[in-house]
Amino acid sequence: MFIYILSMELIIVGSVAFDSIQSPYGKKEKLLGGSAVYSSIAASILSKSGIVGVVGDDFDKKYYAFLNSKKINTSGLMQANGKTFNWGGRYEEEMSEAYTLHTHLNVFEEFNPKINMEYRNAEFLFLANIDPILQLSVLKQMKNLKFSLLDTMNFWIETKKEQLLEVIKKVTAISINDTEARQLSGEWNLIKAGLILQKMGPELVLIKKGENGTIIFYRNNYFIAPAYPTTNTKDPTGAGDSFAGGFLSYLAKNKTINFGSIKKATVWGNMIASFTVEGFGVEKLEQLTKKDVEKKIEEFKKLISF
């Protein structure tokens, strides 16, 4: 096992997986994926991060080497006997929804995140989409948090809503898609839904609308950030996690949290997500640089200014 030792700015807790993806643009097997992978690679453009997850004995040393090459600390990545989490999905022409073909949790089924001493003083935390009971456990282990971002999904809203609401009370921010925002808030109108979600505890609510961008609710303000209109979407897997990694890395790098920095971080995250969807798995993120993102932001400004 390779371990890259760094002082941590951002800790990411989530899944590490092998994905099998089908879309109108092709079919790929055993792609490196999972929420912790997408978000940490996206974050690595600006910020140092450490991941917490579990992999099986089929997770070859080359994957550790790749993550370490992106200056991602893997000392929190546990290896267990068995196979790594494996997910298979298919996208149709509209690319708006993934149709799950198989989900093999494997070693991820017994995942119980332990935050090592090296990680516990990190100021920024991304709680990716895992059981809210585990998310709450992670929060209790952190010692010096400045900002925590929570992601979730409809399954946890349906099956563990009480535990999820407990976690929501304790985080700085929640990132959620429009369908989940409506489900959790009980309100169809997304502006009203965002305000309801804020009353549940977090001072920041990010409602993701896919190709239609993101709505931000921060304290008494809200802002609508359009998505970059890409014409080359091949695989939307990991776009939301890439957004989260980019968003948090921008805040961690700039050390300032206010409405202005949150708007800029949202646009930064959206731009990274727009690169992610243009390739299968993390292939477009692998060589992505700060200059690439900055160039796209300049193009984006021309599209939305008037």
**CATH class in words for 10-304:** alpha beta
What pLDDT was estimated at residue 29? Answer: 95
Q: Which amino acid is at 216?
A: I
Residue 297 CB: number of other CB atoms within 10 A? Answer: 15
Its pTM surpasses 0.75: yes
From residue 165, alpha-carbon distances to 12, 14, 173, 177, 255 in Å are: 20, 19, 13, 16, 28
**Whether 30 contacts 65, CB under 8 Å:** no
Q: What 8-state DSSP symbol labels residue 6? A: -
How many Cα atoms occupy the beta-carbon half-sphere of 244 within 13 Å?
A: 37
**All structural domains of the chain with their residue ranges:** 10-304
Q: Element (H or E) spanning 270, and its range?
A: helix 259-276
CA distance 50 to 122: 9
**Whether 241 contacts 286, CB under 8 Å:** no
CA distance 123 to 111: 23
> Residues 102-140, buried b or exposed e (16+ Cβ, 10 A)?
eeeebbbeebebebeebbeebbbbbbbbbbbebbbbbbe
CA distance 44 to 49: 7
**Whether 123 contacts 146, CB under 8 Å:** yes
Q: How do 124-127 and 98-104 pair as beta strands?
A: unpaired
CA distance 296 to 276: 13
CA distance 22 to 26: 6
Write out the chain's pLDDT in tens, 306 residues: 444 444 578 999 999 999 999 999 999 999 999 999 999 999 999 998 999 999 999 999 999 999 999 999 999 999 999 999 999 999 998 887 889 999 999 999 999 999 999 999 999 999 999 999 999 999 999 999 999 999 999 999 999 999 999 999 999 999 999 999 999 999 999 999 999 999 999 999 999 988 888 999 999 999 999 889 888 899 999 999 999 999 999 999 998 899 999 999 999 999 999 999 999 999 999 999 999 999 999 999 999 888
The radius of gyration of the chain's CA atoms, rounded to the nearest angstrom, is: 18
Q: Element (H or E) spanning 162, and its range?
A: helix 161-170
Q: Element (H or E) spanning 7, and its range?
A: none
**Whether 37 contacts 60, CB under 8 Å:** no
Q: Which amino acid is at 169?
A: K
Residue 97 CB: number of other CB atoms within 10 A? Answer: 12
Residues 6+ apart with CB under 8 A from 158: 183
CA distance 19 to 14: 15
What pLDDT was estimated at residue 6? Answer: 45
